[in-house]
Amino acid sequence: MRLDVFFGAHGLTSADVQGRVVVVIDVLRASTTIAVALAHGARTVIPFESAEEAITRSKSFERGQYKLAGERKNLIIPGFDLGNSPREYTREAIEGKTILFTTTNGTVALIAVQSAREVLVGSFVNFTAVSAMVRAAARARSDIAIVAAGSERHLSLEDTVCAGRYVRAIRRGLSDITMNDGAHAALQLEKKYGNDLPRLFVDASHGRTLTEAGFADDLALCATLDAHPVVPVYQDRQVTKLGPDRER
Ligand code: MLT
């Protein structure tokens, strides 16, 4: 079976994801925000590439049913209800709501892989829950692709290290796994940081940008390993939480 890591969604071909279980990672901050939103009771998260598409879709809902959410240049989109800070996604703010969500990189990566057999959203805050699901798929000899969303078409350190952590967990005790160079590289980089996620976010350029923009507290939240043990599944153009009411 294959276990590959790809950097960014733009160069992906359908052959890279078709028939595979795919994990999309945008640690800072879209995939963390999705995990927090679902953990705090959001009904569903619907990703869009553009703000205009999200606004158009909002017209098919009653006003109390949805939140328009997302960022451009890390800041809330004018007129939207929520930005992309996971700290905004409290139970009070989003329980029972449909989140119409657009971000610069994370939602674009999700939409790019929608033809995969199964798409999960991974981060550090839901690491063990998602990696257990992917390990089960790997044990059943399913091919796996991990998409480290990156930033503005460039590799990002935090997504690569998180991808390496997933690779390490998925391959543990399994043999006959063929990995691409991306998976080998992510694995090596992950060894450098281990559990020192604060240092990772200091080294990562997007971590520094978020700190300078006043979002340092978001970094602390994004580094809380397994704080929100949900498995977000992207299917039929929406992300919902795997659970008793949504079995696999
Ligand atoms: C993105 O999807 O580009 C990021 O989540 C940006 C951000 O940190 O808000």
Q: Which residue has the higher pLDDT, 244 or 199?
A: 199
User: Does residue 102 carry a pLDDT above 60?
Assistant: yes
User: Does residue 244 carry a pLDDT above 80?
Assistant: no
- pLDDT band, residue 246 (cuts 50/70/90): low
Closest of 102, 195, 206 to residue 150, by C-alpha: 206
Q: Ligand 1 within 6 A of 74 CB? A: yes
What is the 3-class SS of the chain, one letter each residue?
CEEEEEECCCCCCHHHHCCCEEEEECCCCHHHHHHHHHHCCCCEEEEECCHHHHHHHHCCCCHHHEEEEEEECCEECCCCCECCCHHHCCHHHHCCCEEEEECCCHHHHHHHCCCCCEEEEECCCCHHHHHHHHHHHHHCCCCEEEEECCECCECCHHHHHHHHHHHHHHHCCCCCCEECHHHHHHHHHHHHHCCCHHHHHHHCHHHHHHHHCCCHHHHHHHCCCCCCCCCEEEECCEEEECECCECC
User: Does residue 114 carry a pLDDT above 70?
Assistant: yes
Quote the pLDDT of residue 248: 52
pTM of the entire structure?
Answer: 0.96
**C-beta neighbour count of 86 within 10 angstroms:** 29
- pLDDT band, residue 190 (cuts 50/70/90): very high
132 CA distance to ligand 1 middle (Å)? 25
Cis peptide leading into residue 29 (ω within 30°) = yes
User: Does residue 38 carry a pLDDT above 70?
Assistant: yes
Report d(CA 90, CA 37) in Å as an integer: 7
Stretch 144-162: mean pLDDT, rounded? 95
Which of 27, 101, 104, 210 is the pocket-test mutation for ligand 1 (most atoms within 8 Å of CB)? 104
217 CA distance to ligand 1 middle (Å)? 15
Q: Ligand 1 within 6 A of 160 CB? A: no
User: Does residue 136 carry a pLDDT above 60?
Assistant: yes
Q: Ligand 1 within 6 A of 58 CB? A: no
144 CA distance to ligand 1 middle (Å)? 24
Quote the pLDDT of residue 184: 98
Residues in the chain, overall count: 248
9-31 per-position pLDDT tens digit: 888 998 999 999 999 999 999 99
User: Does residue 40 carry a pLDDT above 90?
Assistant: yes
Quick one: what percent of the chain has pLDDT higher than 90?
Answer: 95
- pLDDT band, residue 245 (cuts 50/70/90): low
Q: Contact, 67 vs 41, CB < 8 A?
A: no
Quote the pLDDT of residue 243: 76
